[in-house]
């Protein structure tokens, strides 16, 4: 069995939604140079719908594929639907990731949630703080 699925390889070699959104409504960044993966998600939101999403990822193929797939999964969705996106759903949509690369799907989930939190903060929209775990001390980036 191959280490990576065809979907992982496709999203790595032909990533969707790469780039920057100028004047984004929400920006989320996770990771650090020490762990090797840095992911930044940009959201354009109109009437609580994610009308555009872009990403910049510095990292391995699994991180790029996870970013690409996650952006595809939330594009056109409501902000409430996007908040429900889980790392498990991203990994399943990619037809699986090797166990030692599952943290890449976690980063994609966290980057999206951080971008949505940024959107709420910028617009003074109240939210349940439990929806946004503090990544400042997460184990996979701050060892």
Q: Which residues are catalytic?
A: 35, 104
Extract the tokens encoding 78. 């409501």
Q: Please give the backbone phi and psi of residue 49, each rounded to the nearest 5 degrees, phi first.
A: -115, 135
Q: What's the gap between Cα 69 and its chain centre?
A: 9
Q: Of 65, 59, 55, 44, which Cα lies nearest the Cα of 122?
A: 44
Angstrom distances, CA of residue 39 to CA of 28, 117, 128: 8, 16, 24
Extract the tokens encoding 73. 């999964």
- State the maximum Cα–Cα separation within the chain, in Å, rounded to a whole number: 49
Rounded to an integer, what distance in angstroms lies between the CA atom of residue 69 and that of residue 93?
7
């Amino acid at each position: 069995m191959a280490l990576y699925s065809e979907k992982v390889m496709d999203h790595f070699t032909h990533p969707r939604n790469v780039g920057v959104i100028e004047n984004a409504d929400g920006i989320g960044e996770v990771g650090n140079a020490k762990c090797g993966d840095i992911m930044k998600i940009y959201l354009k939101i109109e009437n609580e719908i994610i009308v555009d999403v872009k990403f910049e990822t510095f990292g391995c193929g699994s991180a790029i594929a996870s970013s690409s797939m996650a952006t595809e999964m939330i594009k056109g969705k409501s902000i409430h639907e996007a908040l429900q996106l889980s790392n498990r759903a991203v990994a399943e949509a990619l037809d699986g990731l090797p166990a030692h690369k599952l943290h890449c799907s976690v980063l994609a989930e966290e980057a999206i949630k951080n971008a949505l939190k940024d959107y709420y903060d910028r617009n003074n929209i109240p939210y349940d703080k439990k929806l946004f775990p503090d990544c400042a001390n997460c184990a996979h980036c701050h060892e």
